[in-house]
Amino acid sequence: MTVTARTATPSTCRAINDRLALDLLIEHGPLTAAQLKTLTGLSRPTVADLVDRLGSAGLIHLAGESGTRQRGPNARLYGIVAERAYIAGLDVRLGGVEVVVADLTGRIAASGTLAIPANREPTRAIADVLTLVDDTAARAGAETLHTFGVGAPGLIDPVTGNLGVEDFLPAWHALLPAALRDRGRVVLENEANLAGIAEQRFGAARGLDTFVLVWLGQGIGACVMLDGRLRRGMSGGSGELGFLPVPGTGRLPSRADCEGGFQSLASGAAVEELAARHGLTGTAEDCVRAAAERDTGAGAAFLDELADRVVLAAAALAVILDPGCVVLGGETGRAGGAALAGRVESRLAELTPLPTRVLAGTVPGSAILDGAVLTALDDARDDLFGSPQR
């Protein structure tokens, strides 16, 4: 069989070069034509054509001068037109929503939160969320929002992109994506997956193509990143660690109830109960942080027992996926820091021959919200800049 190599057309080459230049301007901020030439490896005439083309398209603008003594085009700084599009990231929780609005460079322009009572009628709840989104966009100076990145608990159908209807979720959750699609593009993702994306971009897993994040918060979950790709599974249920059968719970989970699974050992409520047995009171996050900061006496004993629990999930993921790295995310995982992560890693080394680092999540604030913003920005930039060639 004869294989004929494909030659890129001029339009394809231009699209590739344009996207390369735009990504560099996102990464580095405003650059001169000379700097673009150096970073891209393109010729001076090609860069000049590229700058003219992107300027005419309204994607870049003259952002000033480089501050050197040079004169002429090479001294001019070109930057992304940040206001070309705005995106919104939403962290959808059982009891409310947090939203941020960012411009095309990723600069956060405004944020807002809304508590939604459990008995709120679904259509009223949706109206309240949309009002919050509109108010936040107005404060950001955005007339429209290009893309919504939405993080939510539960299963996201990988085919339809819709949120599965589950008994523990408020009814308004399932209605929200359709309501947002009337206003722009929507990227819906499981909350643990978004936290993993954030940790990969600028957290503990930065630069790693393969790792898993174990989400330890009020609920339990995991993000599976293999060979640079987020793995969601056939039904979108990859990482539903709460249902993992483990010893020490006295029962097994069922298809409709994860109690008796890993959820019963490592959820926020379970960690608070464990902490109380060691004489510590407060939220799971507060107890774990206080124990990790002192790491002596009752606090150290509490962390030891907590690590004995967490390693059960870490070991299951390690022997099946061989990720090489497990990141402990969520409020509990991040609060435990190196004290908890180190304990889990040492126990993991005794349970499996596969070398696996265990790190605490380092993304400050809400990793879920950060992941929602990142996914929305990726989508908006792909739409406006052209999808990157792979």
Candidate from 66-75, 348-357, 360-369, 371-380 with smallest mean pLDDT: 66-75
| Average pLDDT estimate for 196-210 | 97
Mean pLDDT of 141-145: 97
Could you report the per-residue pLDDT of 257-276, keeping only the tens digit for each? Answer: 899 999 999 999 999 999 99
Q: Determine the pLDDT at residue 96.
A: 96
pLDDT(157) > 90? no
CB count within 10 Å of CB 111 equals 16
Is 390 a residue whose pLDDT tops 90? Answer: no
Q: Which domains does the chain have, with CATH numbers?
A: 10-80 (1.10.10.10), 87-193+368-385 (3.30.420.40), 204-362 (3.30.420.40)
> Residue 3 above 80 pLDDT?
no
CB 276, CB 256: distance < 8 Å = no
* CA–CA gap between residue 158 and residue 235 (Å, rounded): 7
Per cent of the chain over pLDDT 90 is 85
Say if CB 145 and CB 101 are below 8 A apart.
yes
> Is the pLDDT at 73 greater than 60, yes or no?
no
Model confidence pLDDT, tens digit, residues 22-57: 999 999 999 999 999 999 999 999 999 999 999 999
Joined together, the tokens standing for residue 186 give 């929507």
Amino acid at 371: G
Amino acid at 172: W
Strand 76-80 and strand 211-216: the pairing is unpaired
Predicted local distance difference test score (pLDDT) of residue 389: 57
Q: Is the pLDDT of residue 231 over 70?
A: yes
Element containing residue 36 per DSSP (H, E)? helix 33-40
Least confident of 117-126, 191-200, 233-242, 306-315: 233-242
* Residue 333 token pair: 């995982």
Confidence of residue 2 (pLDDT cuts 50, 70, 90): very low
User: Which pTM was predicted?
Assistant: 0.91
Place of tokens 């966009």: 137
Mean pLDDT, all residues of the chain:
93
